[in-house]
Structures are given as C-alpha cells and as structure tokens.
Amino acid sequence: MKKARLISMLLLAAILFAALVSCGSGTEGGEVTAADETAAETEITTSVYDNLPTGDYGGYKFRVLNNWSNFAYTSFGEEGLTGEVLDDAIYERNTMVADLLNITFEIQQLRWDDNDKAFKNSVLAGDDVYDIYFNEGSYEAVHAQNGYVADMKDIKSLAPDAPWWNQVATESIRIGSPLYYLYGDLHLMYYECYCGMIMNTTACQNVGLDTPYETVSSGGWTIDRASEYVKSGYLDLNGDLNITADDQFGLGMHYHNAISFITGVDLEIVGRDSDNLPVWNGLDDRFVTRYTAAAEKIFGDKSLVCNSDTPGIGSLERTVNTMFGLGRLIFFVEPLGALGLYRDCDFEVGIIPIPKYDEAQDEYYSYIYRGAPAMGIPITNTDHERTGVVAENLCAYSMKLVRQTYFDVTLDFKRIQDKQSQEMLDIIFANGKASLANVYGWANFAGDLSTRIGKGDIDIASFAASKESSLVAAIQATIDCFSK
C-alpha cells in the first residue's frame, strides 16, 4: 500500500468516525478511487477536526511530563521555531491547540529513570503536578499495577477509537477493562519504537541479491526467504577464514530485539482469557512450530549473525550498531529511531518489515519495543475531562500536522526520498504490537526467550517448564494488583 493511499484510508476512517458522511465504495469491486480520496481529504478539513471537543480554559497551564530517550526522537515541543522541520511541526501543533483551547504548555522532559522518580513522588505525595505523562512502557506497566494512573475509558472527551489513536497497539498492552494508556500520534517516540529490518541496499546488491521490496509487497517476505539473504550476505572480507567483526554479515542484532521474529511470525507469548486478563496456556504446537522455524532458519548458523558474541564485537569501534554504519551488515534489526544514526552513511539505506512465517500468514506484524511511551493520566489529576479535551486535540492535530512530516524526516537519509521504503514503512506501522509479557517483564520469560531465539536455541519446552511456576506467579501478582 502506498503512503498516499494509507493516509487517505485513514482519512476515510476518520470521516466514518465523525458520522457526518456516508462514503460509497467508489467502484463495483469496492476499490477506493482517486476521486474518493480527494473528497476524503477535503472532507477531513471540515468535519472531523470541527467536531473535536472544545473549551476555553482561561489560559490554563497544561502540564506535560515527557521522557527523554538516548535513541529516539522525544520532543513534545520547543519554546519557539528552531528551523528543524519536525520541531517546527510540533511547535505549530502546540500553538494551534493552545490557541483553540486558550491554554499554555509547561513541558518537563526527564530521562526515563528521573522521569519515573518525579512521577512517583508526585503521585505518592498526592500532588496534582502533571496533566499527562509519558515514560518507557516498562515503567508505565509498574505504574498501572500500583494504581498510579487514571482509567481513561469513561472520560467522555476522549475517543480512543478515533483514527489518531492506535487501537491495535493500545489493545496489545491493555489488561482487563481499564484503559490506563493510549498509543497515538501525539508522541513520536511511539513510532520510533517499531522494529524493522534496516537495510544496506548497496551491500545487498553487491552480493547479487535484489532488494526485497517487491517480495514484501507481494506477501512473499517470509522466514524462508529472509534466511536466504542472511546466509548469502556473509563475506570473509579479510580472507582469514575466521568469522569476526572484520567481516560482513547478512544480519546484525542485539539479543533483546530478537523477539521481533516472535511477533513477526504472529505469536503471543502470553495469552488472554475472556476477561482480557493475561493467562499462561503453555507453548502449543503452533507456537513451537513457528518459533522453531525462525530459530533454525534465521539464527541456526550462529556464526552468520553479528551479535554481542561475535569475536571482535564490544570495543567502541566495533559494536553491532557501528557495524551497520561501517557497511558490514546487510540487515540490522533495531527500533526505527536508529535510522537517525545513519543519515551520513556512504551507502543507500532502506527499511523492510520483519518476515512473516509463510505466505499464508495474512499480515506482517511489527514488534513495538517495550520502551515505547503511551499517554497516561496521573491519578492525582483533578480534571479528567479537561485533560481529555486537550489530549484529543493534540493527538488529532498531530495526525494532521506532524505525522506526515515525521514520515518524511524518518526516510530522508541523504536528502533523497526512498519511495519504496515509504511503502515499507506503511506496512511496518500497519500492524504494530507490543509484547505484553515483555512490557510487564513477568519472570523475564520474554527476555530470556528473545535471547534463546537469537541464539538459535530450539529447546524451549524444557526452558518453559523451568520458568512456568515463576511466570504464572508473576502474572497472578499483576492480576491481583489490577483487582484491588
């Protein structure tokens, strides 16, 4: 799906949400025509945004506790225009919302650990210090368990099913019926945490491989196909017959990102019951089959994947990250925020999704790194409806003013737009899921399993058996917290 088509479909969804128009199919077969898309883009300016919740808050200072990341873009707004296109788009968003609602913004940005301390101190003291906040998802999971955040499902001014909020991603971290966190367009680090396969297209072509854009588009980017690239990508560059950091690899990756391949083949480590509560059902045949395929075919030959165990990796000059920048990896599995590190590379950079299990799998699924921030409302917040009005407007105008700018900046590696990678980014963002087991860190089961698949270890039955009692106990402890 091309990016223009994706945006147009989102606009159509937005119009349906507003319940102001009734869109026809456009053609007999249900295909949306260019005229439909143009009408949708016109209608969006006069319907959805006009029906956002409104208010006049008399200059109220809206207080945001924001997180800082060492790998991702996290700005929630600068004090003025900076000349940086993305900064300025966010500034324009904030200015528009501030003018519409007669508010100002006070934004405090702290590193994840300092953010956690500031947030908890304010809640435990019973102080109304922040209207909304963001931190890495693993911290937010602890806050939810401890009752530090408000349930947003009954806030009338919020519309979680609106197109600027991401329902699939939100539901992937939701437990039970409360709605403690929302993923959406208002915070760009959320996008930065989608994992994909960053690609050195130059190296790919140099070893006689076609860049797999068309394969992805046709639905054929599978574990089997990806394994061919990984195996073909290795080159003994110095001819010493030893596999070291001086060579080229088909794939490079930190072990904690190997969970991307579990999500990619459509597996969930921990299931849900009829009440949307986490439940451990063991590893069924489907899980074992798909996990084993990824472990054997992608990581079975451990020497062909560059990771922390590769001889020579670990010095400042030779890390997995710098290996990609040096042109020594064809694929690098990492959150998309890492793209910013490679703007000045002397080779062409692309992006594709994590492979599917097989062509029968309907969709590509992208792992959302556990650090992805969602919006939460502190339990000490005294006016949830006002907060909902501001948040809804911020998120809606992020979709209108910020998202497209972000897509362009993310893909502008060398001031040249890679149109094929734009399509790939649409696919990556279409079905993003966080791993509930990883976000909540139950018995570190997900983290250990990620390391195991990254090492090509297929003996997961005994591993699961050894961890089962501690995993079940940890899940139950979380359920007990949510039941209080």
List the domains of the chain with CATH numbers: 3-44 (no CATH), 58-192+369-401 (3.40.190.10), 195-368+439-483 (3.40.190.10)
Retrieve residue 61's tokens. Answer: 């200072």
Calculate what percentage of the chain has a pLDDT beyond 90. Answer: 76
Q: Is the dihedral of CA 192, 234, 232, 344 positive or negative?
A: positive
Residue 317's pLDDT is: 73
The residues near 406 (Cβ < 8 Å, ≥ 6 apart) are 73, 86, 89, 188, 191
Looking at residue 323, its amino acid is M
Q: What distance in Å separates the CA atoms of residue 194 and residue 335, rounded to the nearest whole number?
A: 5
Distances in whole angstroms, Cα of residue 179 to Cα of each of 63, 143, 190, 312, 375: 21, 13, 17, 46, 11
Is the separation of the CB atoms in 262 and 291 below 8 Å? yes
Residue 10: name the closest of 138, 206, 185 by CA: 185
Is the separation of the CB atoms in 230 and 224 below 8 Å? no
Residue 411's pLDDT is: 66
The residues near 430 (Cβ < 8 Å, ≥ 6 apart) are 1, 6, 363, 364
Residue 471 has pLDDT above 80, yes or no: yes
Q: How confident is the model at residue 23 (pLDDT cuts 50, 70, 90)?
A: very low
- Count of C-beta atoms within a 10 Å radius of residue 313: 17
Q: How confident is the model at residue 407 (pLDDT cuts 50, 70, 90)?
A: confident
Helices 403-411 and 384-401: crossing angle in degrees, nearest 10, is: 50
Q: What distance in Å separates the CA atoms of residue 385 and residue 151, rounded to the nearest whole number?
A: 12
Residue 302's pLDDT is: 79
Residue 244: name the closest of 255, 254, 234, 256 by CA: 234
Is the separation of the CB atoms in 183 and 190 below 8 Å? yes
Q: How confident is the model at residue 255 (pLDDT cuts 50, 70, 90)?
A: very high
DSSP state of 256: G
Distances in whole angstroms, Cα of residue 461 to Cα of each of 291, 322, 446, 466: 11, 35, 14, 9
DSSP 431-479: TEEE-HHHHHTGGGHHHHHHHHHHTT---HHHHHHHHHHHHHHHHHHHH
Is pLDDT larger for residue 20 or for residue 131?
131
Q: What distance in Å separates the CA atoms of residue 183 and residue 89, rounded to the nearest whole number?
A: 19
* Conformation bin of residue 312: beta by default, left when phi > 0, alpha when psi is -120 to 50: left
Average pLDDT over residues 438-449: 97
Residue 418's pLDDT is: 66
Q: Beta-strand (E) ranges in 115-192?
A: 132-133
Question: 142-146 contacts: CB < 8 A, separation 24 or more?
Answer: 143/119, 143/376, 144/175, 144/180, 144/181, 144/376, 144/482, 145/440, 145/478, 145/481, 145/482, 146/481
Residue 78's pLDDT is: 82
DSSP state of 302: G
Least confident of 54-63, 152-161, 344-353, 387-396: 344-353
Least confident of 278-292, 308-322, 457-471: 308-322
Residue 307 has pLDDT above 90, yes or no: yes
Residue 344's pLDDT is: 82
Is the separation of the CB atoms in 445 and 377 below 8 Å? no
Q: What distance in Å separates the CA atoms of residue 194 and residue 196, rounded to the nearest whole number?
A: 7
Residue 158 has pLDDT above 80, yes or no: yes
441 Cα distance to chain centroid: 17
Residue 10's pLDDT is: 45
Retrieve residue 194's tokens. Answer: 């989608």
Residue 417 has pLDDT above 90, yes or no: no
Distances in whole angstroms, Cα of residue 214 to Cα of each of 231, 310, 349, 421: 20, 32, 16, 11
Average pLDDT over residues 147-157: 96
**Residues 33-75 pLDDT 10s:** 444 554 455 445 456 788 899 999 999 999 999 999 888 889 9
Average pLDDT over residues 369-389: 97
Instruction: Using the CB atoms, write b or e for 52-72: b if 16+ within 10 Å.
Output: bbebebeebebbbbbbebebb
Residue 276: name the closest of 146, 431, 170, 406 by CA: 170
Average pLDDT over residues 7-21: 41
Residue 183's pLDDT is: 96
Is the separation of the CB atoms in 130 and 378 below 8 Å? yes
Residue 45's pLDDT is: 47
The chain-wide mean pLDDT, for the chain, equals 88
Average pLDDT over residues 399-427: 77
283 Cα distance to chain centroid: 25
Helices 34-44 and 3-18: crossing angle in degrees, nearest 10, is: 50
